[in-house]
Structure 1
Amino acid sequence: MNSLMNATRAAKAVTRLLADKDLSPQEVAWVAVALESAFDWATTGKERLPYLADSPDSPFAKPEVRLYLEMSLAREFIAHRLVYHVLNESSSPEPEMCEEIECPADCSGRHEFDHIDCGPDEIFDALARHGVELPEEGS
């Protein structure tokens, strides 16, 4: 339960941080990756809520609400793609990794990532680097 509460508090803090401070695209991307990692760690192994709009008698089945839910999901996927694009474009080539990941001979040394696991606590360090102190509950 503490991990869920910590991830929720971190998400609120990230929203405030991004509304109040002008961060570079790379800084925004790293904060987003850290927050997603905290979310993944907090929800791993937990039962997911059923998709509420699937039940015809649910208030979430209204077309306007369903649109909001679908737009939220689409925005999440768009944000994910943009975050990793920014990180991949801003990273330096690392030809020393080519042997380890068995790249083709013509590899430039640039390696694209679509997931980075920072662990459950990196979001608190990322927030602190930008002046937002948010102590973890249960620590």
Structure 2
Amino acid sequence: MTLHVETPALLFSATSLILLAYTNRFLTLATIIRGLKKAYKEKENRMILLEIKNLNLRLTLIRFMQMAGAASLFLSVLTMLVLFLDYQIMGIYLFGLSLFALLISLALCIWEINISVGALRLHLSDLTHKELEKEHQSTTEAK
């Protein structure tokens, strides 16, 4: 198998966009956490504390997502250098590692998205439960 210098370069645009998306997720979570911390100081609510715990796990996942994505980009550049120096076998292995790092990053992203969706569903179920109670109460009062 022959690997050309252009092949690892294909990961540049994809990896850069992924890292940008991860950074945006991180910044959004940081803003939410700051707001929740302020709300918790004003009113010590257990639900807020659970949300912060959930967001802390998501921050950890995003950190590892970013690290794996950056490692993928680093290994791609290193692969290009090694191929430029005409070390074909080493380049193939490094590119394989680069793809593996990207795969880990994407797997962590899927995990983080699932946690995020689960938290949002919990919020919605809480609101839906309250609305159902109000509806039941108004129906009971009408009788």
TM-score computed with the length of structure 2 as normaliser: 0.32
Higher percent of residues as helix: 2
Bigger relative CO (Cα 8 Å, ≥ 6 apart): 1
TM-score computed with the length of structure 1 as normaliser: 0.33
Report the structure number with the largest CA radius of gyration.
2
